[in-house]
Amino acid sequence: MENNQETAITQDSVDQESRNMALLIWIGTIFFGFIPGLIFYLIKKDNPYILDQAKEALNWSITSLIAWVAGTILAFILIGFLVYFAVAICHLIFCIMGAVKCSEGKEYRVPFTLRLIK
């Protein structure tokens, strides 16, 4: 029970404006790739929650870009089209999960992501 109260306190410490901006980062990542994460990473360095989610979205975008390049290379042996499909589905699902977690004020970590920006 005590653990749930600690989680609620950290969620309450994130204001609604920060939640909305982090939500915009993840929804923008669905459509525009790394650009929203990069913009918020460069502009919002004063807010630790937005900075954290911008780094996570940027790391995921870089990871998915690497996967797209791998799919392009593998397309020459006809396996790359399966990689394209898998990356597109993962990108959509992980970005939606990130948006949902940010709307709740929780930090979201995408699985299988290369942590290039720390």
* CA angle, residues 84, 85, 87, in degrees to nearest 5: 65
Domain membership of residue 67 (yes or no) is yes
**Helix 48-74 with 16-32: angle, nearest 10 deg:** 10
Confidence at 11, pLDDT banded by 50, 70, 90: low
Domain membership of residue 77 (yes or no) is yes
Domain membership of residue 114 (yes or no) is no
- Residue 35 belongs to domain spanning: 2-103
pLDDT of residue 10: 60
Round to whole Å and give the CA distance between 79 and 70. Answer: 10
Number of domains in the chain: 1
- Is a pLDDT exceeding 90 seen at residue 100? yes
Nearest to 49 by CA among 110, 96, 115, 104: 104
Confidence at 13, pLDDT banded by 50, 70, 90: confident
Q: What is the pLDDT of residues 23-46, one digit of tens each?
A: 999 999 999 999 999 999 999 899
